[in-house]
Amino acid sequence: MTATPASQGTSSTLPPPSANGSAPPPPPQTPPRRPARTRISGVRTGLIAAVVALIVVMIFIIQNTGAVNISFLGAHLHLSLAVALLLAAVAGALVMAAAGTARITQLRRIMRRNRRTPQAR
C-alpha cells in the first residue's frame, strides 16, 4: 500500500476552504412550517370557545334560581332568575345575529354592484 498525497485522489465531504482560508458559513436553516389555518379550524376554535362560554353561563344560571319580578314595556312577569337570564342571553344573541346578517347583506350588495360596473383604467 502506498500513501497518496492529500491533494491527489482523495474525496472529502468537507467543502474546500474559501480564499481567506476559512470554511464557508453553513446554509441557513429554515424554521419548521406551521400548518395553514383553514376555515374549519377557525370554526372549531369558535365552537370550543362558545361551548366554554355556554358552560360558564349555565353555571351562573343554575346558581341563581331565585324568583324575581320583571317589568318590561308595561309587561310584568314573575320568573325565576335563571329563566330571566336565559331569555336575556337569547335576546342578546338574536340582536347580534340580526346586526351581523344586516352587515353581511350590505357587503354582498356592495360586491354585487362593483361586479356589475366596469372599472375605469
Q: What's the pLDDT tens digit per position in 5-48?
A: 555 555 556 555 555 666 777 777 777 777 777 878 889 999 99
If you write DSSP's letter for every residue of 26-48 in order, what string do you get? PPPPPPPPPPPP-HHHHHHHHHH
The pLDDT of residue 30 is: 76
User: Rounded to whole angstroms, what are the CA distances from 104 to 27, 63, 71, 88, 109?
Assistant: 49, 37, 34, 24, 9
More confident residue, 112 or 121: 112
Q: What's the pLDDT tens digit per position in 63-108?
A: 887 888 988 898 898 988 888 888 888 899 999 999 999 999 999 9
SS3 at position 80: strand
Does this model's pTM top 0.75? My answer is: no
Say if CB 57 and CB 89 are below 8 A apart.
yes
Q: Which helix (H) or strand (E) holds 71?
A: strand 67-72
